[in-house]
Amino acid sequence: MPESVPSSLIIDAFKEIFQSERKGARRQDPLGWIISVPDTHQKSVLAALDKERSLRVLTCSTEDDANAVAAGLYMTGEPVIVMIQHAGLYASVNTIRGIAMDGRIPIFYMIGLLSREKDKDPKDSRHSMVRFAEPLLDVFSIPHARMEGPDDVKLIAEYYRKSRERKGPAAVLVGLETA
């Protein structure tokens, strides 16, 4: 049964990823950037990030903006993670294709599955936005995994690295609202 992941574990994973990216770099402040579009599913992480001084959060009005900002930061050597919810995945498919896929920009996404039923696999959800998120990622051959509990936090670093290795998008779907 899936369970909520504490925001502190997610933020620690972000810091570890960014510290690893920054090894040997002269610039260490901020460690990295979190680009977000307002997301109620991951609101506890976003609230906790507001108190973090080593990570910068930039809130965008659309996922298209978030993709463009993430690409710009990547091009300047800045480590970046994009946090959106599944509605934003659908809304930004063309931008993900154009920037992350065709432009070969490694963007790592944390995608919240808002309205995901705890007792159902997403493919069995009565909510089409939940049901079709993984198949949409499959159609575009975007590597992805589901974070279903605290033990899955390691997937954040794994899929962040995948985005870098393949020079394209990779995602972790946040199964339940973060704690």
pLDDT tens by residue, 99-153: 999 999 999 999 999 999 999 999 999 999 999 999 999 999 999 999 999 999 9
pLDDT tens by residue, 148-172: 999 999 999 999 999 999 999 999 9
**How many Å apart are CA 177 and CA 179, to the nearest integer?**
7
pLDDT tens by residue, 85-94: 999 999 999 9
Q: Is the pLDDT of residue 24 over 70?
A: no
Average pLDDT over residues 24-31: 72
Q: Is the pLDDT of residue 25 over 70?
A: no
User: Phi, psi at residue 83, to the nearest 5°?
Assistant: -110, 120
Would you say 162 and 170 are in contact if contact means Cβ atoms under 8 Å apart? yes
Q: Is the pLDDT of residue 29 over 80?
A: no
Average pLDDT over residues 28-37: 90
User: Phi, psi at residue 159, to the nearest 5°?
Assistant: -80, -25
Residue 27: pLDDT band (50, 70, 90) is low
Residue 163 CB partners (closer than 8 Å, separation 6+): 106, 107, 108, 169, 170
pTM: 0.94
In this structure, the number of other CB atoms found within 10 A of the CB of residue 83 comes to: 27
**How many Å apart are CA 63 and CA 83, to the nearest integer?**
9
Q: What pLDDT was estimated at residue 26?
A: 62
Q: What pLDDT was estimated at residue 9?
A: 96
Average pLDDT over residues 46-66: 94
Q: Which tokens belong to 113?
A: 């599955």
